[in-house]
Structure 1
Amino acid sequence: MTTIEQLYQHFLKYPVICTDTRTITEGCLFFALKGEHFDANTFADKAITQGAAFAIIDNEVFAKNSNCILVPDVLSALQDLAKHHRVQLNIPVIGLTGSNGKTTTKELIRAVLAEQFKTFATKGNLNNHIGVPLSILSIQSDVEIAVIEMGANHQKEIEFLCEIAQPTHGLITNVGMAHLDGFGGFEGVKKGKAELFAYLKAHHGFAFINRNNPYLLEMSEAADLNKVVYYGTEKENTISGKLKHSDPLIEFEWATHAATYQAKANLTGTYNFENILAAICIGHFFELTPSQINNGLANYFPTNNRSQLTKTERNTVICDFYNANPSSMTAALNNLKTLNAKHKTAIIGDMFELGSAAAEQHEMVARLASNHQIDTLVFIGKSFYAFKDEFTGHFFPSPVEAKAHLQANPVKDSLVLLKGSRGMALEQLLPLL
């Protein structure tokens, strides 16, 4: 069997990792991962034929040539290789998790830090037990600082990802009603996310905490309070801020203990203001100038369907359909209520992974939307459809029926919120808006 040290020597020579034969590049290392419905060991020979330098496998039956490297378990080898690579990197690594806003906050932090440092940040949502190792292994030797997003749907997952990423600094954006099924309820969510603070405390790392969030303050007991940097709306914080307006884009002021600065961001949604303050706080901690921080914020344009404002031929659409849970759905609907528009439309889809709380949470969101005096309400998905006789609006069991409705009854001259869980695939409705 090949050791991790031996595998690392191959990685230094061939530093590109592939896990899918459809994306093989010349001279990559192919890791033959297993899934529920596939065993990539069977593709090892194909990967090498397509140009992979080596295929890392854990079934000797498929070791058909000398370019196959046999390990006890491919996934564990990938994770251990990432740990080994991380130890070689003498740079700050900012670990980031939370129920909502992880990716937007990560991109804001990246945009700010990039004004001063060669910065790496997690690509897309590679934030799980496979994505985090792949992210760590993508950090090249010239990178000066890294931002690693960590997602979780059960306890001990953040703890495990921290052992791989080994963050020196960390941030929890917030805690909310997300992945309740896996975490075992809201208290389980808090306990699971606080694993980041516990890791930082054990390894003498710094935590950035939003003092306006009572849950995060409670969870900060797991952190080293001598190494906590606070941000929020009050002047007692290291970084404080005041939202001027967010209609539709955010304008605000922020302050250190020494001075106050005016700034803008290309984001909509009052709920994004705390994400912006987090990026400012981290930029300030790493000694960027106020001008660099403001430039970084101004140069960030969302392109990932998270709070992304899109003008179509007929409407203005808040594209927020990458994912959804009760907390983020509530924030999005509350934001829509505050925006000025002659006509407002909310098209919202089911929220997944809520377990036994699914019916209660969908009813709560449907009631909230109905009480917000939104001109046109469209609910999509089986969970919302169960309440079609209790609330006003258009209810459809799937996007297929919703699409037919929107084709027959086009939305025009409206401010539209389009939001739902990733599995609802609401992006298919955008061409109709």
Structure 2
Amino acid sequence: MITGGSFLQLSNNSIVEHLLFDSRKVYAASSSLFFALKGSRRNGHHFIPELFNKGVKNFVVSEWTDISLYPGANIIRVENTLAALQQLATYNRRLFNFPVIGITGSNGKTIVKEWLHQLLHEDYNIVRSPKSFNSQIGVPLSVWQMSKEHNLAIFEAGISQPGEMEQLNRIIQPTIGILTNIGEAHNEGFENADQKVEEKIKLFDGAGLVIYCTDDWVADKAIVWKHETCFHKKGKYPFRIFSWGKMQKSTLQVLDIEKRNSETEIIALYKKNETGITIPFTDDASVYNAITCWCVLLHFGLRDEVIAKRMKLLQPVNMRLELKKGINNCTIINDSYSADLSSLQIALNFLSQQSPGSKKTVILSDFFQT
């Protein structure tokens, strides 16, 4: 059995299309499989009666369950329901051979993922992480969506402490890895920035290509060390590098960044030829994320004129530096999705660029991870 368990009760053969872990989000009960996850606050086993009454007939449990209460249900018992969920997603991933992009980093994962979808959806049928599903639970739920209808996958992977990325790597098995940046998010879970980046780039084990910024010296040092160490030990490089930055060694060498009223022009050198894009944003984070996406498009072989046209049409991502018009000539920036110091710094930088001289107000909640 894929989940590593055994049937407590097998009533019928069911086709499973949806995986559930939240009893409040039941969309297609008859074709759903519920994993009774156990957390510090809630135990999924307590919600089985409610789900059964809603029509769910397939369950994965790790505790004793009175099967007489659930006639007609299929119930599998495993040692660990989270591990079973991850094993099922890993099995599904192995069924497909199309490119899989795995994105990690302190900030920018969701924006890069959503922008890549905006930039590539005309060429590929893309499956991607919903919202910011990048955790030990979110990643398997994302990877489960892969099907024969797709030919490109884009998944986020987020960690908050050492030892978490190896499992996400086994589930995603990326063919292309992207490191957005190394900031202060989840710093409390790591000894220092070096340890954090070393853990994050474990996502790239087995990948064929890694994309990152050479100007981020912590990331550059870690990736180059991993690259060279593997070569000295095994006689071959573990992956190819597609880097970007101001350094001459970068695959895409950034020559100039010119910010105007509402757009930014970026000039770079690629394969000894000068090329450029213009994006409808002026904040540093958007520039950084757009160049990262640019690298992916160049790797996929899109023509310069196609890239330039699509970059001009980039749209903001909901709740990520989302600019809105308010009453009384106010401008509202909605950056409510993230709550860490790095994201706040990016948002404040973006705020400072809007209507110079105007009064500015910042509304904050507690930063529990700081």
In the alignment, residue 184 of structure 2 is paired with which amino acid? M
Structure 2 regions of 5+ residues with no counterpart? Answer: 7-11, 228-236
Does residue 121 of the first structure (1) align with residue 128 of the second (2)?
A: yes
Once the two structures are superposed, what CA deviation does each residue of 1:279-306 show, in whole Å capped at 9, x if it has no partner? 0101111122234433443443224211
Does residue 21 of the first structure (1) align with residue 20 of the second (2)?
A: no
Tell me: CA distance 1:310–1:235, structure 2 relative to 1, closer, same or farther (3 Å): farther
Aligned to 2:59: 55
Once the two structures are superposed, what CA deviation does each residue of 1:175-219 show, in whole Å capped at 9, x if it has no partner? 11221221233333223223234x1xxx25211121222111111
- 1:260 and 1:208 map into 2 onto residues whose CA distance is 20
Aligned to 1:230: 243
SS in 2 for 1:61: coil
Question: Is the CA contact (8 Å cut-off) linking 2:177 and 2:211 kept in structure 1?
Answer: yes
Question: Is the CA contact (8 Å cut-off) linking 1:113 and 1:296 kept in structure 2?
Answer: no
Tell me: CA distance 1:339–1:20, structure 2 relative to 1, closer, same or farther (3 Å): closer
Tell me: CA distance 1:119–1:289, structure 2 relative to 1, closer, same or farther (3 Å): farther
Aligned to 1:99: 106
- 1:140 and 1:75 map into 2 onto residues whose CA distance is 22
Question: Is the CA contact (8 Å cut-off) linking 1:248 and 1:339 kept in structure 2?
Answer: no
Structure whose residues are more often helix by fraction: 1
1:195 to 202, 209, 214: 202
SS in 2 for 1:120: strand
Tell me: CA distance 1:188–1:62, structure 2 relative to 1, closer, same or farther (3 Å): farther
Question: Is the CA contact (8 Å cut-off) linking 2:57 and 2:74 kept in structure 1?
Answer: no
- 2:309 and 2:52 map into 1 onto residues whose CA distance is 45
Tell me: CA distance 1:165–1:226, structure 2 relative to 1, closer, same or farther (3 Å): closer
Question: Is the CA contact (8 Å cut-off) linking 2:319 and 2:335 kept in structure 1?
Answer: yes
SS in 1 for 2:362: strand
Q: TM-score, normalised by structure 1?
A: 0.72
Aligned to 1:351: 367
The Cα of 1:57 is off from its aligned counterpart by 2.1
The Cα of 1:255 is off from its aligned counterpart by 4.8
Q: TM-score, normalised by structure 2?
A: 0.84
Aligned to 2:39: 35
- 1:149 and 1:285 map into 2 onto residues whose CA distance is 19
Percent of pairs identical after alignment? 27
The Cα of 1:236 is off from its aligned counterpart by 5.1
Aligned to 1:410: none
Aligned to 1:273: 287
Question: Is the CA contact (8 Å cut-off) linking 2:243 and 2:252 kept in structure 1?
Answer: yes
In the alignment, residue 238 of structure 1 is paired with which amino acid? T
Question: Is the CA contact (8 Å cut-off) linking 2:194 and 2:218 kept in structure 1?
Answer: no
Q: How many residues align?
A: 347
The Cα of 1:225 is off from its aligned counterpart by 7.1
Tell me: CA distance 1:118–1:12, structure 2 relative to 1, closer, same or farther (3 Å): farther
Q: What are the within-5 Å matches in structure 2 for residues 298-377 of structure 1?
A: 298-313=312-327, 314-347=329-362, 349=364, 350-354=366-370
Q: Calculate the aligned-residue CA RMSD, in Å.
A: 2.7
Tell me: CA distance 1:16–1:248, structure 2 relative to 1, closer, same or farther (3 Å): same
Tell me: CA distance 1:333–1:131, structure 2 relative to 1, closer, same or farther (3 Å): same
In the alignment, residue 22 of structure 2 is paired with which amino acid? D
SS in 2 for 1:194: helix
Tell me: CA distance 1:11–1:275, structure 2 relative to 1, closer, same or farther (3 Å): farther
